A = this chain, B = another copy of it.
Amino acid sequence: MGKNRLEAFSDGVLAIIITIMVLELKVPHEASLDALKPLLPVFLSYVLSFIYLGIYWNNHHHMFHATRHVTGGILWANLHLLFWLSLFPFTTGWMGENHLAPMPTAVYGFVLLMAAIAYFILQRAIIAQQGPGSLLAAAIGKDWKGKLSPVLYLAAVPLAFVNPWVSDGLFIFVALMWLVPDRRIERVLAKREKE
């Protein structure tokens, strides 16, 4: 079974999620700069989630670049990932509207954690399908970013009740960590093509 429709469907869902988040930025009725002020935390949450979804799209893109065939299991692992990502508009809106209060921040972190776990499961499903000598396994290597991220999200959930800014700092740190483009897969692919 080809991977094209899976990629097209995932691109569609990610494009919609990243775009409907902006609907949480409710148009204010007044025309003054003051009317924008209460929207600032909503806007900042939007920026953070936009970057996270951009990272997921980027990594998804790279992961399926190193994938030839998809099975029923991979289709469902992918839908499972899309499910958690589809909750981003909700958690982003809730965290933004409540000015980064503890509970919404913790729930935001929880959904990030679940998405990271879903991504990990999808990665394992592809590697399992590829068997020994898996291109993807070689490409991700030790995958320390993939392993560190869920640990930091997990830490961010209880820390939100101590101080939500610590959790927000962790979210920003993980995002920056991934923003450094992940050249591992490109590198391994380029190497194999040479051989």
Which chain A residues have a beta carbon within 8 Å of chain B's beta carbons? 1, 5, 7-9, 11-20, 22-25, 27-33, 36, 47, 50, 54, 57-58, 61, 65, 71-73, 75-76, 79, 82-83, 86-87, 89-90, 93-94, 97-98, 101-104, 107, 179, 181-183, 186
Contacts and interface: CB of A to CB of B under 8 A. Distances in A.
Number of identical monomers bound together in the oligomeric complex: 4
13 contacts: A8-B8, A12-B16, A13-B15, A13-B18, A15-B15, A18-B86, A24-B27, A31-B94, A31-B102, A31-B104, A47-B83, A57-B79, A76-B179
A87 B27 contact: no
A19 to B, nearest CB: 4
Contacts of A104: 31
